[in-house]
Amino acid sequence: MFSIVHVVAASENNVIGVKGDLPWHIPEDLQFFKDATIHKPIIMGRKTFESLPNKKGLPKRLNIVITKQENYKAENAHVFNSLEKALDFAKSQKDQYGEELCIIGGGEIFKQSLEFTQKVFLTRVHTEIQDGDAFYPELPDHFKKIESIKKTQEDGLSYSFETFENKKA
């Protein structure tokens, strides 16, 4: 049974990005992201792909980028023109990459896929970001929080690793 999950970090006011980048530096969250996605398919929007180091797909994952552009080339990644085609391709690779598909953003892709997402791994960063330009959607009530672990890093920034389950899907 395929399962679609979101892996995301968002501020208290749901900001996930500023000018094509993350608004914070949280090494433990980067490690969490790696552990959650390693050896799995990861689906992302074209802008998120272009925010990756060296504009290159992440190692040891099946990188899938969606764009409306014809002939878009992405190093170490497969490119599709719709979310549906990206999901079908990820599913076709299950023998090698398993049955959990990770959607890693950005805001547009999170919004389009929320209704058929079973689980959300949300790192809630306990701060308000004023100049954000990419946002995580408000989770509807049928997403129930099943876990929350609060952390504080050395610079005083605190965040919680939260897990939500979609009770409708």
Q: Near ligand NAP by CB under 6 A, which window of 95-103, 106-114, 141-149, 151-159? A: 106-114
Shortest distance (Å) from residue 51 CB to ligand NAP: 4
Q: Per CB under 6 A, does 127 bind ligand NAP?
A: no
Q: Per CB under 6 A, does 73 bind ligand NAP?
A: no
Nearest by Cα to 20 from 44, 4, 42: 44
Q: Per CB under 6 A, does 52 bind ligand NAP?
A: no
Shortest distance (Å) from residue 95 CB to ligand NAP: 26
Q: Per CB under 6 A, does 108 bind ligand NAP?
A: yes
- Bridge-based pairing state of the strands 134-135 and 15-17: antiparallel
Shortest distance (Å) from residue 97 CB to ligand NAP: 20
Which are the contacts of 105, defined by CB distance < 8 A and separation ≥ 6?
8, 16, 17, 44, 45, 48, 134
Q: What is the chain's length?
A: 169
CB neighbour burial string for 91-126, b if at least 16 within 10 angstroms, e if fewer: eeeeeebeebbbbbbbbbbbeebbeebbbbbbbbbe
Q: Per CB under 6 A, does 132 bind ligand NAP?
A: no
Residues engaged in binding ligand NAP (CB under 6 A): 8-9, 16-17, 20-22, 44-48, 51, 66-69, 81-83, 104-109, 112, 134
